[in-house]
Amino acid sequence: MTSIPMGPQAALAAGVLGALSLGLMRKPPALALRALAVASVAGAMLLAVCSASDGYSSAIVLTDSKSIGWQYLIYLGALPLALWLDGEDDVLVALFLGATLGMSLLASASNLPMLFVALEFMSLPAYLLVARSRPGTRGLEAAIKYFFAGGVAGALFMLGLSLYYADTRSLAGSTDLTPLGQAGAGLMAAAALFKLGAFPLNWWLPDAYEAAAPEVSGFLSTAMKSAAVLFLMRLCELAPQAGFIAFLPAVGAVTALAGAVMALRQERLQRLFAFSSVSNAGLLILGVGAWAASGRSSEGVSALLFFLGAYAFMSNGTFAFIRYSGLETRAQLKGRGAAMPAAAAAFTILLFSLGGIPPTGGFMAKLLLLWRAVDADLYWPAAAGAVSALISLAYYLGMTRELWLEAPHGPEPKTGPGAPLVIACAVGVVLLGAAPWLMSSLSGALTR
Amino acid sequence: MNAPLTMLWLTPLAGAAVCAFLARYGALFFSMLFAGLVAGVACGQSSGGVLSVVNELGPVWAYGISYRLSADSLSIGLIALTAFLNLICVAASWELEVPAGYWACFMALASALTGVFLARDLFFFYVFWEATLIPMFFIIGLWGSSNRLHAAVKFFLFTFAGSVFMLLALLALVSAHHRITGVWTWDLAALDATTLGPVAPLVFWGLIAGFAVKIPMFPLHTWLPDAHTEAPAAGSVMLAGVMLKMGVYGLLRVALPLFPTLSFEALPILGGLAAFSTIYGALCAMAQTDLKRMIAYSSIAHLGFCLLGVLSRTSQGLTGGTLQLINHGLTTGALFLMVGFLYERAHKRGLSDFGDLATRAPYLAFFFGFSTLASIGLPGLNGFVGEFMALSGALSVLPILAFAGVLGVTLAAAYALPAFQAVFWAPAGPGSVSAKVTDLNRRERAVLWTLSLLMLWIGLAPRPWLAYFEPALRGLVR
């Protein structure tokens, strides 16, 4: 296969331009817009496969195995939104593809300024996506909050980068750091933790996830989270001596616990899954910490890759169920299993998987990640991560109980589109659990 | 001998799928097929000297996880108990009006339990171990009695909490093994051959946490009374009859072989807790007014005896404790079934709700009395053999534990006999629902005859049973 440098990014950029051009028509054809979104994301994925064989690199971008692996994750997380996006809205399609392009650039960035550009490229469309995906002022309010948080993160990164540059005179990483450089690296890491929603920098996240349309929340919690994890990993690579790395396991453990505890009392489903996503982000930060502590082993990378891959199915599937079922609160879940057996059964599988019950992909994901932590002698953070999984089981089981074991009351909700996606995600999760080597051999074959 | 062991856990799983269409007929057919297969494997292996069948596939993927099954007499004994009680449960619930899912859950449960007893790769051991929770969660939550929702969630969370620590312990074990030998493996035999460094106590106590919740050992027992009381009758049978045994099996299969020294050093703590469990369970049982809850608490006491025997690591103690696992499955299973039959008829199960049942339902009175006597350890019945051997094992190691255990035996009579008297012999009180109770029908009698004859057989001729388990336990004797 011949590879095209920056091919995936080019495909996405073409998609953005195409969507905007279609928008010039008086009435943009919905079908064409949706097809364009799917084609761009699928095309990017295909081109990423093609470019996997060579290690292209320039001053600002590179194609290594991590960059390719994470691009798959990003496109995997984005594909459901491409399928279910509101095709009437050309701006929404352009914003979606623009955000995906930013993530894709982030996955390929090889120096610090490029990371910053990609970060902003990914974030700006995401704010608008949240505001625009659902009519009403709440989305707007959440988007402004999100924008503000993102602005702070961007500013922190910029400040950190200047301090770091003042110390090292390098934009592509350095090993020796004075306290000035340490402070700079720490600030840059804070920006990444902001994006991941690490406790206590997670205050913007539940509002944004709750206000956005469910499928957009799914996109943010999968593709965006994957990109942010890679962002943190690149920082660890570019500044391997940075002091912040030693704190990552503890930050991750605290975030995992805090997210799980805060999700316990949530009544609204989207808000609950937002906190659940914070908890999972905590496990991922712990995973990055373990990976960095064990000399950046390839096992650590594949554990993170597996976790994010399984999470792409779980989170997109649960948000797709929320969209399909039209249920908004836990009280409305009660007794609805019988009315929509296939989708509800798939949702239940996803819940068990999120709770880490075997034989599902979520179990394997948690196992591999915690194993990395134990292997790096991070016993306490690993135990905290395990306890967070236990706490989270209380609400995943609680929802299972409401869905199947309790009596329904109130009017039956109107179901929307998306049932096949929920079922497909559940099948994906079961496959990952029953045959976990599928993922490793697949990603092994694709990244070579 | 490659296929049969995989077939053992796949057969009930296939049965679970078929039950979705054929409901009780599918369940009956597949539980008979399953029992037949187990009998076949058991007969096939008993001719050899060392009772072991190994079933392996190469590493299925990275990190040394491999699919590895093996069955010695301990495994086969417990799988036979699973298959037998599963068949009993299907027969006992035959006339219940329940959807297909009920039967499917029982078959899925039998499959996962079989997997636990077969797996020799700790990864698969853990996966099967956790997989048992899902069907039982639905069995309690969907078909249990009034407080079932609370009990189902509590059951799941409590036992999962234990297994999380077990999983962390397993991860630490595998990592430590890799650090020492450079080999990734989850194979029990390979891990057994390596001496661990400083992480050993961490791993040991993590494993113990997982097993102790399941057994359950005081003070980790609080999930049990709720789960057993709220589960449907057949669910209680599987819970008490087989699922509690997983904890003791875990000790026998994993914790004791891997950590012979540590487990001996921990004997005063673990044995003390086990001895205390026998007394505590009996005292709690004595205070109950609900017949089913009383039996549930008595399970805590009975499992305490099993533990005392097993932890003593003497030949009598180990074989007696293991036999007691089977005994408890039979007697407590029978008792739970009869409470279920009572509940189906009268929708009550309080000790004071009945009276004078011996004249109204003589068969029920006979079987209940018989099982009660077996449960409290009357010589000539199965409970006596197991308890006696377990206690004599404990006596030779730490006599004080045996004395505590004997106190537990006495207390067992003190709660079981008055309960029997209140329900069957005492005159019916004003609020009594005894009038609603009809005697057992032919199907129910057949089920109970089977169980009772087995109790009598083990009680009168325990030697072949003990001899069957002995080779598998020989290596554990200190």
Is-cis flag, bond preceding A381, omega within 30? Answer: no
Q: Looking at beta carbons, which residues of chain B come within 8 Å of A299?
A: 63
Give dist(CA B461, CA B478) in Å, integer: 27
**Mean pLDDT, range B101-125, rounded to an integer:** 92
B2 pLDDT higher than 50: no
Instruction: Report, as an integer, the average pLDDT of B151-170.
Output: 91
Q: How confident is the model at residue A169 (pLDDT cuts 50, 70, 90)?
A: confident
How much is the average pLDDT of A80-99? 86
What integer pLDDT is reported at residue B460 of this predicted model? 93
Indicate if the pLDDT at residue A439 is higher than 50: yes
Which pLDDT score, from 0 to 100, does residue B478 have?
81
Q: State the amino acid at position B308 in one-letter form.
A: L
- From the list A398, A393, A388, the residue with the least C-alpha distance to A199 is A388
The Cβ of residue B339 has, within 10 Å, a number of other Cβ atoms equal to 23
Per-residue model confidence (pLDDT) at position B190: 83
| pLDDT at res. A2 | 60
Q: B270-286 in b/e burial notation, b at 16+ Cβ within 10 A?
A: bbbbbbbbbbbbbebbb
Q: Comparing A439-448, B37-46, B337-346, B464-473, which segment has the lowest mean pLDDT?
A: A439-448
Lowest mean pLDDT among A394-398, B2-6, B186-190, B332-336: B2-6
Whole-number Cα distances in Å, A420 to A29, A87, A347, A423: 24, 18, 11, 5
Higher pLDDT, A447 or A43: A43
Question: Rounded to whole angstroms, how far apart are CA atoms A342 and A347?
Answer: 9
Say how far residue B2 (Cα) sits from the centre of its chain: 27
Q: How many helices (H) and strands (E) does chain B have?
A: 22, 2
| CA distances in angstroms from B393 to B212, B271, B319, B402, listed in the order given | 20, 12, 9, 8
Mutation choice for A interface testing from B171, B205, B223 by most A CBs within 10 A: B171
CB-CB under 8 Å, B157 with A390: yes
Chain centre distance of CA B61: 32
> Which of A358, A374, A436 is opposite residue B171, by nearest beta carbon?
A374
Q: Which of B65, B88, B71, B222 is nearest to B157 (CA)?
A: B222
* Residue A352 with chain B: CB contacts under 8 Å: 134
Element (H, E) at B336: helix B315-346
How many CB atoms are closer than 10 A to CB A275? Answer: 25
> If you measure CA to CA, which chain A residue comes closest to B176?
A375
Q: What pLDDT is attached to residue B51?
A: 43
| Tens-place pLDDT, residues B66-94 | 888 888 889 989 999 999 999 999 999 99
By C-alpha distance, the chain B residue nearest A389 is B164
pLDDT band with cut points at 50, 70 and 90 for residue B207: very high
DSSP B422: I
Averaged pLDDT for residues A16-21:
91
Residue B56's pLDDT band (cuts 50, 70, 90)? low
Query: DSSP labels for B202-237?
Result: HHHHHHHHHHHHHTT-TTS-THHHHHHHHS-HHHHH
Instruction: Check whether B337 has a pLDDT greater than 90.
Output: yes
Q: Which residues of B50-74 are buried (b: 16+ CB within 10 A; e: fewer)?
A: ebebebeeebbeebbbbbbbbbbbb
Q: Is the pLDDT of residue B1 over 50?
A: no
Sign, CA dihedral A266-A271-A277-A279, equals negative
CA distance B164 to chain A (A): 6
- Give the C-alpha distances (Å, rounded to integers) separating B472 from A78, B6, B52: 54, 21, 9
Burial degree of A296 (CB within 10 A; 0-12, 13-18, 19+): middle
How high does pLDDT run on average in chain B? 88
User: Looking at beta carbons, which pairs linking A385-389 to residues 24 or more positions away fall under 8 Å?
Assistant: A385/A252, A385/A253, A385/A256, A385/A282, A385/A283, A385/A286, A386/B164, A386/B165, A386/B167, A386/B168, A387/A257, A387/B164, A388/A253, A388/A256, A388/A257, A388/A259, A388/A260, A388/A279, A388/A282, A388/A283, A389/A260, A389/A355, A389/A356, A389/B164
Mean pLDDT across A341-366: 91
Q: Which stretches of A169-268 are DSSP H helices?
A: 179-196, 205-211, 214-219, 225-238, 248-264
**What pLDDT, on the 0 to 100 scale, is given for residue B48?**
44
| Residue B155 pLDDT greater than 70, yes or no | yes
Tokens representing A436 are: 């976990």
Cis-peptide into A200, omega within 30 deg: yes
Q: According to the model, what pLDDT value does residue B3 have?
A: 59
pLDDT average, residue stretch B324-351: 91
Residue B450's pLDDT band, with cuts at 50, 70 and 90, is very high
Which residues, in sequence order, are CB contacts of A186 under 8 Å at separation 6+? A160, A242, A243, A244
| Structure letter (DSSP) for residue A109 | B
> Does residue B47 register a pLDDT over 60?
no
Over residues B421-429, mean pLDDT: 87
Residue A91 contacts B, CB cutoff 8 Å: no
Instruction: Decide if A342 touches B, using CB distance below 8 A.
Output: no
Q: In chain B, what percentage of residues exceed pLDDT 70?
A: 96
Contact A440 B62 (CB under 8 A): yes
Rounded (10°) angle between helices A90-108 and A65-84: 170
What is the C-alpha to C-alpha distance for residues B283 and B410, in angstroms, rounded to an integer?
11
Residue A8 pLDDT exceeds 70: yes
H or E element that contains B122? helix B122-131
Of B142, B175, B178, which is closest to A405 when you measure between CB atoms? B142
Q: A53 falls in which pLDDT band (50, 70, 90)?
A: low
CA distance B321 to B6: 28
Cross-chain residue pair A382–B157, CB shorter than 8 Å: no
Does the pLDDT of residue B137 top 70, yes or no? yes
Chain A residues touching residue B148 (CB < 8 angstroms): 405
The more confidently predicted of residues A307 and B54 is A307
Residue A35 has pLDDT above 60, yes or no: yes
CB contact under 8 A, B164 and A440: no
Give residue-wise pLDDT tens across range A122-148.
999 999 999 888 877 888 888 998 999
Least confident residue range of A80-89, A218-227, A313-322, B233-242: A80-89
At B379, list the tokens.
């010589």
Q: What is the mean pLDDT of residues A256-281?
A: 94
Whether residue A387 is predicted with pLDDT greater than 90 in this model: the reply is yes
Q: What is the mean pLDDT of residues A395-413?
A: 86
Q: Greatest CA separation found in chain A?
A: 66
Q: Which residue of B has its CA nearest to A406?
A: B149
**In angstroms, rounded to a whole number, what is the distance separating the alpha carbons of residues B86 and A92?**
57
> Does the structure show a pLDDT above 50 at A346?
yes
Interface contacts (A, B; CB < 8 Å): 78
C-beta atoms of B61 and A352 within 8 A: no
> Which residue(s) pair with B350 in the sheet?
B290
pLDDT surpassing 80 at residue A424: yes
pLDDT tens for B228-286 read: 999 999 999 999 999 999 999 999 999 999 998 888 888 889 999 999 999 999 999 99
d(CA A49, CA B236): 53
Kindly tell me if the per-residue pLDDT of A105 is higher than 50: yes
Give the minimum alpha-carbon distance from B138 to chain A in angstroms, rounded to a whole number. Answer: 8
Distance CA B90, CA A444 (A): 47
Q: Check residue A446 and give its pLDDT.
A: 55
Q: Mutation test of the interface with chain B: which of A294, A351, A371, A430, choosing the one with the most B Cβ atoms within 10 A?
A: A371
Nearest residue, CB atoms, A357 vs list B62, B134, B178: B134
